[in-house]
Amino acid sequence: MENLLFSLNSTMPIFLMMLLGLFFRKVGIIDEILATKMNKFVFTIPLPFVLFRNLATVDFKAAWDFPFVAFCFVATLLSIVIVTIVSFLFHDRSIQGEFIQASYRSSAAILGVAFIQNMYGDSGMGPLMIIGSVPLYNVVAMTVLSFFGPNSTGFSRENLKRTVIGIVRNPILVGIACGLVWSALGIPLKGIPYKTISNIAATATPLGIMAMGASFDFRKINGKIAPAIVASLFKLVFLVAIFVPLAYLAGFRRAEMVAILVMLGSATTVSAYVMAKSMGHEGTVSSSTVMLTTLFSAFTLTFWIFLLRSLGVI
């Protein structure tokens, strides 16, 4: 019972906030335009501040964990390889790029930081997990959506340039880089600057989670539901079942394990749908997978945390 309560206390506050966002959407307080702007605001302002603060206030050498970052990178890469192989089983090649991206691309930044803070307080594991996974998310998303799709043009020099620029300008990665540099230089962060940054950072989780809930629309779970269901199973169940045991064997525990769990098993990010549409894809598989994984991750993440807690891993 204690482990179940721990699991519910870790996940339910986050998902209740998501339901609150959905409620606000239903009663008209938040509309689709505002939800989109909230997502963009959280991604570009408070979330980078969270990551900057978490890293700027710890010792650089203590914060950096190469084996952990390397595991996140390799697990993400192998996850992509697995879902890419599975994508060839579908007869409709036009959905292949969407299926691949939706099956591996997590809401790792917002949910990862939220879960770790909810369970362990501030931790450098969230930013380090993002370093190991998010750049790869973007590079592969651009690649598969260019190669596999209804209007595939291949991976051109222009696409490569756009990908590199997107990574360099990624606000999350900028926040991490600034935090690491600040920490390495040993500059103290306290007083008025620290309180100001902390106040801005405090808006990331409530706004980000409510925006995710407000973006939920049952009407988007429509055609091509079979590939969306398969993608959702990989996103919430199969990849976790493959790589979390490997993470355990590699010696990762507590905040490290939670970061890995969220990286592998959280809902597909809304950005997957936005990017797919912007690159000429229909978007049905992406939007359906976002909806399904957002809905069912409340149950699957609670189960995984309960299991890991019962085994004494977290």
Characterise 23 by phi-psi region: left (phi > 0), alpha (psi -120 to 50), beta (else). alpha
Mean pLDDT of 286-311: 86
Of 90, 78, 75, 15, nearest to 257 (Cα)? 75
Which amino acid, residue 281? H
Asked if 284 contacts 223 with a C-beta cutoff of 8 angstroms, the reply is: yes
pLDDT category of residue 7 using cuts at 50, 70 and 90: low
Token pair for residue 37? 């702007």
Please tell me the predicted confidence (pLDDT) of residue 283.
78
> Is the model's pLDDT at 15 over the cut of 80?
no
Please tell me the predicted confidence (pLDDT) of residue 56.
83
pLDDT category of residue 144 using cuts at 50, 70 and 90: confident
pLDDT tens, 205-237?
788 778 877 877 666 666 578 899 999 999 999
In the block, residue with structure tokens 């799709």:
149
Higher pLDDT, 235 or 123: 235
* H-helix segments, 57-122: 60-63, 66-87, 96-104, 108-120
pLDDT category of residue 16 using cuts at 50, 70 and 90: confident
> Is the model's pLDDT at 312 over the cut of 80?
yes
The verdict on domain 2-310 having CATH code 1.20.1530 is: yes
Token pair for residue 208? 């980000």
pTM over 0.85: no
Asked if 140 contacts 132 with a C-beta cutoff of 8 angstroms, the reply is: no
Least confident of 27-31, 61-65, 202-206, 207-211: 61-65
User: Where do the domains of the chain lie?
Assistant: 2-310
> Is the model's pLDDT at 154 over the cut of 70?
no
Side-chain-facing half-sphere of 54: CA atoms under 13 Å: 28
Which range is most confident: 63-72, 222-231, 266-275? 63-72
* pLDDT more than 90, % of the chain: 26
Higher pLDDT, 268 or 92: 268
Q: What is the mean pLDDT of the chain?
A: 82
